[in-house]
Amino acid sequence: MAFGDVIAFGMTLFVCAIIIVVGYAMFSATASINVDSTIGPIGINNTYTSPDGVTTIRPAETGELIFQALDWIMVFITVALIAGMFISGYMLPSHPVFAFISFFAILIWLWIAPFFSNIFLEVMQLPVMSTAANAFPLTSTVIMNLPLVGLIAGVLMGVATYGKAPGGAPF
């Protein structure tokens, strides 16, 4: 088990969550801005009709759908990273002596992860982020439980890395 895998896993989730939430807050704040009043409203909340008069679109609808999908994409990223860590832990040859060191890497993660959860909570409590906090319940759950998620990922990776037959992977 690479000692930084669990820490890199948690930091990746944290950075993805912050990017998603800040992006949503920026999208929400600029949704009704008019760029130029001489040619009419140009905000993304306005409805536009194609020149042939057949198609009407509201750009904000597309953005809202994308952000709704990003909440589930964050869950998928979490599961995919855990699965990737499990597979790489199984495929890489390792010596059981390093299990003790990996245990300390997980303990370091359990010491660091609450700071990331608290930073995320502080960002969510900003007045600008009030709508974003409610828009991403799954992302908030993953990040607020980041120590537990990292512990589960670390234990699964440890089992895959050190629980296999001597000699490493079957290939």
Write the pLDDT tens digit of every residue in 68-88: 788 888 899 999 988 888 888
Reply yes or no on whether the pLDDT at 61 is more than 90: no
Residue count of the chain, please give it: 171
Give residue 55's pLDDT: 62
Reply yes or no on whether the pLDDT at 171 is more than 50: no
pTM check: above 0.85:
no
**Is 48 strand, coil or helix?**
strand
CA distance 76 to 96: 31
The neighbouring-strand residues paired with 48 are 57
CA distance 2 to 94: 10
Q: Name the residue with tokens 């060191």.
A: 101
Reply yes or no on whether the pLDDT at 126 is more than 80: yes
Question: Helix crossing, 98-124 with 137-144: angle to 10°?
Answer: 130
CA distance 59 to 40: 16
Instruction: Please report, rounded to a whole number, the percentage of residues in the chain having pLDDT higher than 90.
Output: 12
